[in-house]
Amino acid sequence: MNFALTRFFLHLGFSCEKPRNSRSYGFLLLNAKKRAFSSAAIPLAQKTGEELLVVVGGGAAGVYGAIRAKMVAPHLNVLVIEKGKILSKVKISGGGRCNVTNGQCTENLVLAEHYPRGHRELRGSFFSMHGPTDTITWFSEHGVELKTEDDGRVFPISDSSSSIIDCLLSEAKRKGVLIQTGKVVTSASRDVDGNFQVKIEKRTTNYMENLKADYLLIASGSSRQGYVLATQLGHSIVDPVPSLFTFKIEDSRLAELSGVSFPKVRVKLTLENVQTNIPQLTQVGPMLVTHWGLSGPAILKLSAWGARLLFSLDYEGDLFVDFVPDIKMEDLKSILMKQKHQFTKQKLLNACPLEFGIVKRFWKYVLDREGVDADILWASISNNSLIGIASLLKHCKFRVMGKGQFKDEFVTAGGVPLSEISLSTMESKIQPHLFFAGEVLNVDGVTGGFNFQNAWSGGYIAGTSIGKLALDAKMETEVEHGTEVKHRTTLS
Ligand SMILES: Cc1cc2nc3c(=O)[nH]c(=O)nc-3n(C[C@H](O)[C@H](O)[C@H](O)COP(=O)(O)OP(=O)(O)OC[C@H]3O[C@@H](n4cnc5c(N)ncnc54)[C@H](O)[C@@H]3O)c2cc1C
């Protein structure tokens, strides 16, 4: 426990503030079984009787939301409880570089299209309140310079996620947000006075605390415990399933091409018993061959849009790849015919048409798969074989036999339904003063910085709403207090 928190909890333990009104008790530590600090550590500065916001989860949404709440309402006590390491996903994100947001999508409608779960709901005010431009501005105003790469992904110029973490943590500290790690919020309920009773435990010991909080922000990512808290407070959960995974393809010849990448392919997923032609099940973008199948942005996008269907079909389906999406079938045949006449004395393997932009290893795969001997001369290839090669390049079929292993899953589809919260405040429609932000909600985006953007936007909106409520409550209390003093003065 850091010094600030030692002081914080000690203070909580000794607080004997009286409730100010039915909804606002300040905060009280009801049950701290391990209190090993001396009274000398009781802070002079810790304000008593102010309201408390407990944030469940020290990820992007939780920390950003906590900072924002404290900024709007500096008097509010803000405590972030993190069961593991603070901002641990930020650390590993983007291959350690952290793809903070996306710089190419400034239009809300276009931006929303990048969220397989959430694309309808996020078209509204959500990103207007705090969108990618606001995120970029926020980080640059807090000392982190960002750069936008050609594909729209935004990274810190340091190319290190530590820049983002250092910035968030120093801002949290500067604002007075208290962060406690290694503790789990195991249950949350509402007491008769409308406050949240929050139970906090340590995994390794029998440590247990009960906090009374005025506001609760659940920003627990895809953690099961977060879903449990949401259901304890009356919310439902859309079954969580993985999104953003690679496709397992059983094709030993393809596996030999592991590491080969294609800058632009068109991929189409067809699934059994799925009659409707879902436009998002066709994607264009880079693709990569791995030792177990296919990966890269085009595949990850397909996996995201097909996440629920693929889950229900045990991750089986047919994938059709167009390796030359910018060349029409007729032009492709003409190119092959021209090659046949121009390179008569060259072996097929050594003279792949340059227009295709494919590497020799993949050209060999195509010839093998079409059953054409790679060592014959162009002069001796039949026209039927040329048509077969052209068809293969345009409609190459792969059987998807499963998904990549767990570590490849970047995000979870499912969580608290958006219909149960107000997106303009991130407040629960079921429980007042309960807020959600980030991946705990049934929102997930494709790759490119969209998932963090959901976390920043949700955290910011929730923090703003909580801050405003806390300011209102403070003003109300001050008015009450002022009236009370005046009344007493009159009486005496
Ligand atoms: C390997 C990897 C790379 C990624 N790269 C990118 C990227 O570059 N760009 C991008 O946009 N997205 C990326 N993502 C997705 C992105 O990391 C998540 O969408 C984002 O972290 C969600 O933020 P969050 O705050 O909602 O949840 P999280 O970051 O998951 O934070 C939730 C936190 O809550 C804690 N917690 C949960 N339950 C409790 C509890 N009961 N008590 C206490 N603490 C609790 C968890 O330990 C966790 O630290 C990546 C994901 C992975 C796995």
Among the residue ranges 67-71, 115-119, 323-327, 482-486, the one predicted with the least confidence is 482-486
Substitution site in 451, 453, 457 for ligand 1 pocket (most atoms within 8 Å of beta carbon) = 451
Compute, in angstroms, the gap from residue 475 CA to the centroid of ligand 1. Answer: 35
The atom of ligand 1 lying closest to the CA of 60 is 25
Domain boundaries, the chain: 3-241+411-481, 245-409
- 449-467 pLDDT per residue, tens: 999 999 999 999 999 999 9
The atom of ligand 1 lying closest to the CA of 449 is 11
Compute, in angstroms, the gap from residue 417 CA to the centroid of ligand 1. Answer: 18
pLDDT band per the 50, 70, 90 thresholds, residue 207: confident
- 256-270 pLDDT per residue, tens: 999 999 999 999 999
- The tokens for 229 are 């808290």
pLDDT of residue 408: 55
Compute, in angstroms, the gap from residue 1 CA to the centroid of ligand 1. Answer: 23
pLDDT of residue 478: 86
Compute, in angstroms, the gap from residue 217 CA to the centroid of ligand 1. Answer: 15
Q: Whose CA is nearest to atom 52 of ligand 1?
A: 410
Compute, in angstroms, the gap from residue 100 CA to the centroid of ligand 1. Answer: 13
- The tokens for 448 are 């490119």
**CATH class label, 3-241+411-481:** alpha beta
The atom of ligand 1 lying closest to the CA of 226 is 38
Name the nearest CA neighbour of 417 among 405, 428, 433, 402. 428
Q: Whose CA is nearest to atom 27 of ligand 1?
A: 221
Share of the chain above pLDDT 90, in %: 81
Compute, in angstroms, the gap from residue 87 CA to the centroid of ligand 1. Answer: 7
Compute, in angstroms, the gap from residue 355 CA to the centroid of ligand 1. Answer: 42
User: How many of the other CB atoms lie within 10 Å of CB of 114?
Assistant: 24
pLDDT band per the 50, 70, 90 thresholds, residue 285: very high
Compute, in angstroms, the gap from residue 89 CA to the centroid of ligand 1. Answer: 5
| Residue at 228: amino acid letter | V
Compute, in angstroms, the gap from residue 306 CA to the centroid of ligand 1. Answer: 22
* Average pLDDT of the residues in 335-359: 96
Neighbour order of strands in the sheet with 101-102: 101-102, 153-156, 146-148
Q: Whose CA is nearest to atom 29 of ligand 1?
A: 59
Please tell me the pTM assigned to this model.
0.88
* Average pLDDT of the residues in 49-61: 96
The atom of ligand 1 lying closest to the CA of 200 is 42
Compute, in angstroms, the gap from residue 156 CA to the centroid of ligand 1. Answer: 18
- 142-197 pLDDT per residue, tens: 999 999 999 999 999 999 999 999 999 999 999 999 999 999 999 999 999 999 99
Q: What Rg value do the Cα atoms of the chain yield, rounded?
A: 28
Q: At 414, is the secondary structure helix, strand, or coil?
A: strand
Name the nearest CA neighbour of 9 among 18, 260, 17, 36. 36
- Asked whether the beta carbons of 402 and 303 are under 8 A apart, the reply is no
Q: How far apart are CA 223 and CA 225, in angstroms?
A: 5
pLDDT, mean over the chain: 88
- 226-256 pLDDT per residue, tens: 999 999 999 999 999 999 999 999 898 999 9
Q: How far apart are CA 97 and CA 336, in angstroms?
A: 43
Neighbour order of strands in the sheet with 208-213: 183-190, 196-202, 208-213
Among the residue ranges 41-55, 302-316, 369-383, 404-418, the one predicted with the least confidence is 41-55
Compute, in angstroms, the gap from residue 36 CA to the centroid of ligand 1. Answer: 32
- Asked whether the beta carbons of 470 and 76 are under 8 A apart, the reply is yes
- 385-440 pLDDT per residue, tens: 999 999 999 999 999 999 987 555 589 999 999 999 999 999 999 999 999 999 99
The atom of ligand 1 lying closest to the CA of 183 is 43
Taking 80 as the threshold, does the pLDDT of residue 44 lie above it?
no
Share of the chain above pLDDT 70, in %: 87
The atom of ligand 1 lying closest to the CA of 81 is 43
Q: Whose CA is nearest to atom 3 of ligand 1?
A: 93
pLDDT of residue 43: 35
* Average pLDDT of the residues in 362-367: 97
pLDDT of residue 25: 29
- Residues having CB within 6 Å of any atom of ligand 1: 56-62, 81-84, 88-89, 92-94, 98-99, 184-185, 219-221, 223, 225-226, 410-411, 438-439, 449-452, 455
Q: Locate tokens 């001050």: which residue?
A: 478
DSSP 3-state percent helix, strand, coil across the chain (nearest 5)? 40, 25, 35
Substitution site in 88, 101, 223, 407 for ligand 1 pocket (most atoms within 8 Å of beta carbon) = 223
pLDDT band per the 50, 70, 90 thresholds, residue 24: very low
Q: How far apart are CA 54 and CA 66, in angstroms?
A: 9
* Average pLDDT of the residues in 56-77: 98
The atom of ligand 1 lying closest to the CA of 221 is 27
pLDDT of residue 17: 30
- Asked whether the beta carbons of 196 and 434 are under 8 A apart, the reply is yes
